[in-house]
Structure 1
Amino acid sequence: MMKKRLSILLVVALMAVLVTACGGNQEGKVEKDSKNKQEVAKEVSEQDKYGGVFQGRVKADPPTLDPAMATDTTSSRVIRNIFDGLVQFDKDLNVIPAIAKSWNISEDSLVWTFNLRKGVKFHNGREVKADDFVYTFTRILNSKTKSPRTWLFEGVKGAKEFMEGKADKVTGLKVLDDYTFQVTLAEPFTPFLSVLAMENAYVVPREEVEKYGEEFAQYPVGAGPFKFVEWKHDDKVVLEKNEDYYVEGRPYLDKVVYRIIPEGSSAFAEYEQGNVYQNVDDDLPAGQITRIMDPNGDFAVDFKSIPRLGTFYIGFNTQKEPFNNKKVRQAINYAVNRKVLAAVVMNGVVKPANGILPPTMPGYNPDLEGYEYNLEKAKKLLAEAGYKDGLPGQFELAYNTDKKNQRIVEAIQSNLKQIGVNVRLINMDWGTYIKKVDNGETQMYRLAWIADYPDPDNFLYVLFHSKNAGPGGNGAFYKNSEVDQMLDKARSMKPGKDRIALYQKIEKQIVEDAPWIPVYYYTAPILVKPFVNNYVFTAQSALPLTNVWIDPNHR
């Protein structure tokens, strides 16, 4: 037992040194290679930046390529390159103009008026007009679409009446002229502009949606930097440059190929061989981490570690016995050794989670206690819940197929066995898995949330408001009327310390109710080939590949 504890401490110490080295001043090889890269970039003319194929990787077959239907990071990464919206995020997650060149907000924060650029075209050649945004947003709210993202626009004036079939249009969505689009909200909503930067709000052409119907997800047509070419399921998605793109003409790249490689070790091997140019899916092989993070090693220039707006968690279906008992959920939380999971299973590249909101999110509370690893407390709470000998029977912990996910759920399975909770692990492909979670067909399940926009509303309202039970994001089917009321209030408050204080109160209550086991906060270890320029991975996700270019000698 002593040897095991000592080995864990040594691993933690080693990884801490490596992480510090990675984030600190790097000398030798990394400094030299960085200078070489900057010198090459200076020598390449603007014209020579054009051309080449970006070989990307995603870890699962995208469930959809329809912006109205996307709820996952895999789909979103591809969608962001095909479609475009009124506004977008920059590298620092500020909201900047996109198809809307400017906008005005009324004094009462209810009326938002957007002035569109002229000459922006869909991939079918038709110009984007204000009416296309009315159609796009109305389509999301239309019950026939069955979009899981209706919550994004439920605050628009008239949305409720339209969704209930009491009106044939949404009164808060108006065309003032071909290039002026206006949205009126029923009540103030502080992060509305950030919502419009989400890929779900990206504009779609009515004629193409009506042409393909539900198959539009398979044949997407947008106004983004790249056109859709081909989707071979479980193999690859292929895009090509949009010659008519409105942002300074076409993107630099001729083509983008997203290869679908589910397994991290296989993806890393492909990266080493130069067959893919990025590996950004948080599943670098455990046995390679020390080598990858060596500041003077082969990957010194390739590697970066970026804190993310994300939390990895195990959810309980709070409507199913015995997980409808708060003390059972709390007991299981105390039984999970997050520190060892982060240090050993995740090789020290992530931070153990005390709560819901990650450290990079406004409103993060560093003083939130959360659940320590304490088996005695866990057993005591189980006994108080009526299970002094542990939970009878066996319980399902579902997860999507992935080696990293498997390592984590196996460790949690071992933790829970110590308090008499027997867990059976179920793994499946992502598309099937997410439907299982959305339909409430789980007992326990593994998921992670990477913020759609940098505001605590996007975590706490989306994932815990009872309105969003199931496909809306609340896979735990968590219901607390007091929390609902506080969430409704917070999203309409003016920015400032009072709003942040309310979100911290909400988070504290949710953590006490324990619908989740927050496991760790994301830090994205990413690899990008040195000959790939302008690839930007934010605290949220990869930006579109619009400005990415490949050194001519590596095409």
Structure 2
Amino acid sequence: MLKRSLTTVSVLALALIVSACSAPAPAPTSDNGLVSPGPLPTAWPSGYDPNGSLHIGFVAPPRTLDPALSTGIASLEYLTPVYDRLIQIDNNLQLQPMLATDWSFSSDGSTLTMKLRDDITFHDGTPFTADAVVQNITRSKTLDGSLIKASLATVQSVAAVDAHTVKFQLAPGAAGLPSVLSGVAGMMVSPACLSNAALATAVTNCGTGPYQLSAYQPNVSVSYTQAQAPGKFWEPGAGLLHDLTITYIADADAAINGVQSGDLDVAYSIGTNVPKAQSVVASNTSKFQGMMSTLTSQVVLQFNSNIPTMNDKVLRQAAGMAIDRDAINQLYGGTCTPADQPYIAGHWAHDDNLVDQNAYDPAGAKKLLQDAGQTSPHITLSAIAADQLAVQGLQAQLQAVGFQVDIQTLSIPTLISNWAQGQVSTIAGNLAALDYDPSTLFSTYFSNAKGQIAPEYLTQLQPLMQQAGDPTLSQDQRAAVYAKVFTILNQEALVIPICNPSAFWTAPQYVGGLSALFTTSNGAVDTRYLYRQTGQ
């Protein structure tokens, strides 16, 4: 993912108290200690500790407490305990109500009308109403430095219809707006806090979520306390920890070690760190449990076809055909699912009928280069340090068919900046984190579509993307249009999807709610459903 961040993310947490309406005990683990991702809770669990606490280790640092200044998925886990969203996404990649109870587009797609809950109050005592939504969306669109302004570009205006109904006036192509409102753009802040210049850095009581802020150390950790008495929060199964802390731990192995030593209660691993986490759980299933999910984040080769050396379809196709996705998967310990298109199987936009023009064929890759008179073509793979193992594997595979390959290791900010400015020809590694809705495909794969896609391809893709963004189309109709987009990306070898890595959460058996941890398989996690079992 480029425009928003170059690293995928996630995190966790929650605990609970006995209620008259009681759900089953935590999901049973399998013989290897794994808990399967499950549905969002619909009832209060039994056996939770109302005084419980959890400490979570996460791989991305907390950079802001203001949703409008958030960099996206990498910040979500620090914000979701405090700020509810208008909409949420479940483990089946389906949009579900949250602060909004219902939403619908007009017959011509020019408006989106949204009904809101009428029983919600912000932590500072301000009622949650349609006017609060209007003020939040307006601020996000106009605030200097807002990082979600682009996500709301299709919103021309928003107005309160009544106390608990809002209407969005839309520009063409707004079909993805409900998905946008399931992320930071849909987080609601108390209107009384919106003008607070310290919202990004101060401990405030400005959300409607199950937890309130109690401490914040920028780039280090965020701590929270329960916003309401156990079992009293509006959402069943949420907000049952007495307190919660999420700490940035850059070294995923150190986080796993922290769970083993008892210094942490939950640890997050991704990519090449997953096998170690799996082995820790499998070696002591009576003590530890884990949950693994395939992410929509992808290991990819991304080409800037506006750079002359990369505006060569033969070269790009040969590079794609040189990649042995199964071998790259093995570098991830078998936890990186081979991919030939942007969305994983099971997502509504996945095209089961796509014919991969860039399937692994090293002999074919060599022939393409030879027939085109390409003798030892040069390619530079720009990547971040965390992706070096996979990138070195890609380097070896490309060299095997005749490429000369250099690796340029850059910091995340430098890679983002250089890519946006057209100074990078090829990006390699775990760099694409796709939103639930493909309407953001260009801004995800290409930080500036006009800057990284040559005009001859852009003229093919833009009309299709505009068509697929039509809110009057059904999901199946939109999927059929996106299938054409994916076919062009594949046939022209503009992006080479390689595999979808997995994320893995390691926790002792006393942590409950692990199966509901992933609210989206793009790695964005809501911590509200975790809890600590009694007597632990």
Give the TM-score normalised by structure 2. Answer: 0.79
Residues in 1 aligned to 2:32 and 2:444: alpha-carbon distance in whole angstroms:
44
Go from structure 1 to structure 2 and tell me whether the alpha carbon gap of 1:126 and 1:515 turns closer, same or farther (over 3 Å shift). same
Q: What stretches of structure 2 of length at least 5 have no aligned partner?
A: 1-27, 35-43
Correspondence for 1:348: 334
Go from structure 1 to structure 2 and tell me whether the alpha carbon gap of 1:441 and 1:509 turns closer, same or farther (over 3 Å shift). same
Residues in 2 aligned to 1:431 and 1:389: alpha-carbon distance in whole angstroms:
31
8 Å contact kept, 2:418–2:424: yes
Partner of 1:389, secondary structure, is coil
Correspondence for 2:89: 89
Residues in 2 aligned to 1:377 and 1:30: alpha-carbon distance in whole angstroms:
43
8 Å contact kept, 1:331–1:378: yes
1:152 alignment partner AA: S
Residues in 2 aligned to 1:332 and 1:58: alpha-carbon distance in whole angstroms:
34
Q: Which is helix-richer, 1 or 2? A: 1
Alignment of 1:368-407 (within 5 A): 368=354, 369-382=356-369, 387-391=374-378, 395-399=380-384, 401-402=385-386, 405-407=387-389
Correspondence for 2:406: 423
Correspondence for 1:521: 500
Give the Å deviation of 1:75: 0.8
Residues in 1 aligned to 2:174 and 2:311: alpha-carbon distance in whole angstroms:
32
Q: Which of 473, 489, 501 pairs up with 2:480?
A: 501
Go from structure 1 to structure 2 and tell me whether the alpha carbon gap of 1:438 and 1:276 turns closer, same or farther (over 3 Å shift). farther
8 Å contact kept, 2:77–2:527: no
Q: Which of 157, 160, 166 pairs up with 1:175?
A: 160
Is 2:175 the partner of 1:193?
Answer: no
Deviation string 1:226-245 (CA, Å, 9 cap, x unpaired) is: 22333324432222222388
Residues in 2 aligned to 1:270 and 1:422: alpha-carbon distance in whole angstroms:
38
Residues in 2 aligned to 1:348 and 1:218: alpha-carbon distance in whole angstroms:
43
Correspondence for 1:153: 152
Correspondence for 2:116: 116
Go from structure 1 to structure 2 and tell me whether the alpha carbon gap of 1:426 and 1:528 turns closer, same or farther (over 3 Å shift). same
Give the Å deviation of 1:511: 1.6
Partner of 1:417, secondary structure, is helix
Q: What stretches of structure 1 of length at least 5 have no aligned partner?
A: 1-24, 32-40, 160-169
Deviation string 1:166-208 (CA, Å, 9 cap, x unpaired) is: xxxx3xx112334332223344744433332222221234553
Partner of 1:127, secondary structure, is coil
Correspondence for 2:345: 359
1:526 alignment partner AA: W
Residues in 2 aligned to 1:79 and 1:93: alpha-carbon distance in whole angstroms:
20
Partner of 1:257, secondary structure, is strand
Correspondence for 1:167: none
Give the Å deviation of 1:302: 0.8
Is 2:254 the partner of 1:266?
Answer: yes
Correspondence for 1:128: 128
Correspondence for 1:333: 320
Go from structure 1 to structure 2 and tell me whether the alpha carbon gap of 1:431 and 1:269 turns closer, same or farther (over 3 Å shift). farther
Instruction: Tell me: higher relative CO, structure 1 or 2? Use CA pairs within 8 A at least 6 residues apart.
Output: 2
1:463 alignment partner AA: T
Is 2:242 the partner of 1:254?
Answer: yes
Go from structure 1 to structure 2 and tell me whether the alpha carbon gap of 1:437 and 1:133 turns closer, same or farther (over 3 Å shift). farther
2:164 alignment partner AA: Y
Q: Which of 443, 463, 480 pairs up with 2:444?
A: 463
8 Å contact kept, 2:274–2:504: no
2:54 alignment partner AA: F
Q: Which of 475, 480, 483 pairs up with 2:461?
A: 483
8 Å contact kept, 1:361–1:456: no
Deviation string 1:91-130 (CA, Å, 9 cap, x unpaired) is: 4343333223444554445433333334533344433332
Correspondence for 1:551: 533
Deviates more, 1:121-130 or 1:250-259: 121-130
8 Å contact kept, 1:29–1:300: no
Deviation string 1:263-305 (CA, Å, 9 cap, x unpaired) is: 22212211222322333332464663663474x7537961333
**Once the two structures are aligned, what percentage of the paired residues are identical?**
20
Go from structure 1 to structure 2 and tell me whether the alpha carbon gap of 1:371 and 1:103 turns closer, same or farther (over 3 Å shift). closer
2:341 alignment partner AA: G
Partner of 1:373, secondary structure, is coil
Give the Å deviation of 1:432: 5.5
Deviates more, 1:261-270 or 1:283-292: 283-292
Correspondence for 2:25: none
8 Å contact kept, 1:241–1:254: yes
Correspondence for 2:140: 140
RMSD: 3.5
8 Å contact kept, 2:302–2:426: yes
How many pairs were matched up?
A: 487
Partner of 2:213, secondary structure, is strand
8 Å contact kept, 1:292–1:303: no
Deviation string 1:404-439 (CA, Å, 9 cap, x unpaired) is: x221112112223332322123143x4565455455
Correspondence for 1:409: 391
